[in-house]
Structure 1
Amino acid sequence: MAMWFLWSLLLWGALPIAVIHTQVLSKVGGSVLLMAEHPPGFKVREAIWRSLWPSEELLATFFRGSLETLYHSRFLGRAQLHSNLSLELGPLESGDSGNFSVLMVDTGGRVWTQTLQLKVYDAVPRPMVQVFVAVAGDPQNSSTCRVFLSCQAPNISDITYNWRREGTMDFGVEQHRLFTNGQVLSISLGLGDRDVAYSCIISNPVSWDVATVTPWESCHHEAASGKASYKDVLLVVVPVLLLLLLVGLFSARHCGPCSGKKKKDVCTDGVVAETENPLV
């Protein structure tokens, strides 16, 4: 009779004495406890948990003092009804977000309904910060360096980007220095910023992670690398050009008079004649 009464409430939409709404946040791979709350003095006789959206499914029931969670649903094997009538779900998957409800009836026949909205997020991974040097000069003469810091993270939803200059308590930076929803930060560095580090903090409602770089190292490395490459080119190219020039001059001087078949014969005859008739 009691179970029939519960099903009648579900099918005919009987009006409860109260409805409360709660939002619950969790992350993929974790677990969540959907708390069944009711007013003081409300002695629960029967209770039923349901998934309302994206699909309507029966998850668990409490009837005549017996807890039951053996119903076939997408949470089969991942749902546990506790003695306080709270429902634990886990490990959670990315598609588990949705609306849930628990309907309770007390010993006096009063009805209490609670609706909960579960939002499941992916845990944010470690971001990667890349440094792009916009203007870098000779490290011995230049005192400034303008760079763009790009914070990269996988394409997951609801990510927020924040930048922090290490050594300060301020998480914010001037808005005109941020681009692409905060993913890119533009900064100008001076000689006093050689040891200054910047951190990119990515977060969503359930997790966060951070990556830190020292931009001046990239300025110095790029300028130094360009200078070393220029010297290497000179050390290799100049000797080769000189060698080729000397070979060309030598060839022109010694083979120029003997170029061509006739000139070659004349030169050969002359050499033979000089050999056969040496000077006395």
Structure 2
Amino acid sequence: MAVWSLWCLHLWAALLPIADTGAQVQGKVGGSVLLVAECPHGFQVREAIWRSLWPSEELLATSFRGSLETLYHSRFLGRTQLHSNLSLELWPLESGDSGNFSVLLVDTGGRAWTRILQLKVYDAVPRPMVQVFIALLGDGQPPKTCQALLSCRVPNISDITYSWRQEGTIDFGIEPHGLFMDGQVLRVSLEPGDKDVAYSCIVSNPVSWDSTTVIPWKSCHHEAVKTYYKDVLLVVVPVSLFLILAGLFSAWHWGACSGKRKKDVCADGVVLETESPLV
């Protein structure tokens, strides 16, 4: 009898017009979602059937005269719970769980009501990585201004929205003329008075968000120090090499004169140099 009733419900679902469509539900990978079995006011539900419609049609859960059943061999086996109000809970969610679901409700008078729900499962947004790229002047002097590009990136995640915020200000957003690549890159111009100004990149999707904060002026100062250090090396290294070579040559010369034979030669050289004809 139960099999016949289930078959009839499938037949009604195919023949009856859809009464409620377009409801959207959002979930996060690893979390849970509740698919609510809403029906018209005064609709006394006697039987219900939940199905997954896409990417494949599968039976998920049924209720006949108060008897709840979820042990159907679908990809959701072991991840479903049919509540007493006939709403279906799915957990833990996986990225492949996105799709369309339907619930067919039959009341005590034989009327049927079908509801379609669209489930979209998103990955949790990880913390973004922000890189600071600056333009240095060629004179090697401490920068009075600093032109910086802040690049924000989240790898291998789709459906991401990027936005920027200057910390300590009332205005949440950043002027659009300084944004590039759909908000992933922000261009800023900094002065010494902006050395403590921080910028935050906020990444989000419909179910989660995260952010990273940087102080660009620190990178400007750090790059400048690296430039001065390079200029010093250009002067110090050649001079140091010259002094080292001179020391090695001197040590070789005196070492050569320390031998017995070389000592005589050196002594003769001294005599020859000191003995000069008197005029």
- Structure 1 length-normalised TM: 0.84
The separation in 2 between residues aligned to 1:2 and 1:239, in whole angstroms, is: 95
Residue 243 of structure 1 deviates from its aligned partner by: 4.9
Residue 26 of structure 1 deviates from its aligned partner by: 0.6
Q: Bigger CA drift: 119-128 or 139-148?
A: 139-148
SS at match of 2:224: helix
Say if 1:136 and 1:219, in contact at 8 Å, map to a contact too.
no
The one-letter code of the counterpart of 2:220 is C
Does the C-alpha gap of structure 1 residues 22 and 249 become closer, same or farther in structure 2, counting only changes over 3 Å?
Answer: same
Residue 250 of structure 1 deviates from its aligned partner by: 11
Match of 1:149 in 2: 150
| Superposition map of 1:125-274 within 5 A | 125-136=126-137, 141-244=142-245, 271=268
Match of 1:7 in 2: 7
Say if 1:131 and 1:148, in contact at 8 Å, map to a contact too.
yes
Residue 140 of structure 1 deviates from its aligned partner by: 6.3
The separation in 2 between residues aligned to 1:250 and 1:27, in whole angstroms, is: 75
Q: Bigger CA drift: 68-77 or 2-11?
A: 2-11
Unmatched segments (≥5 aa) in structure 1 = 256-266
CA RMSD of aligned residues (A): 3.0
Residue 142 of structure 1 deviates from its aligned partner by: 2.9
The separation in 1 between residues aligned to 2:217 and 2:138, in whole angstroms, is: 12
Residue 236 of structure 1 deviates from its aligned partner by: 3.5
Residue 248 of structure 1 deviates from its aligned partner by: 7.0
Matched, 1:116 2:117: yes
Q: Deviations over 1:161-213 (max 9, x none)?
A: 10111111323223232222211111110122111000000001100000000
The one-letter code of the counterpart of 1:167 is G
The separation in 1 between residues aligned to 2:247 and 2:140, in whole angstroms, is: 38
The separation in 1 between residues aligned to 2:109 and 2:99, in whole angstroms, is: 31
SS at match of 1:53: coil
Residue 66 of structure 1 deviates from its aligned partner by: 0.3
Say if 1:127 and 1:211, in contact at 8 Å, map to a contact too.
yes
Residue 241 of structure 1 deviates from its aligned partner by: 1.7
Say if 2:100 and 2:118, in contact at 8 Å, map to a contact too.
yes
Residue 134 of structure 1 deviates from its aligned partner by: 1.6
Residue identity (%): 67
SS at match of 1:40: coil
The separation in 2 between residues aligned to 1:225 and 1:180, in whole angstroms, is: 29
Residue 21 of structure 1 deviates from its aligned partner by: 3.0
Q: Deviations over 1:209-254 (max 9, x none)?
A: 00000000000111012213332443343132245468779999xx
Q: Deviations over 1:100-136 (max 9, x none)?
A: 0000000000101110000000000000111011235
Match of 2:76 in 1: 75
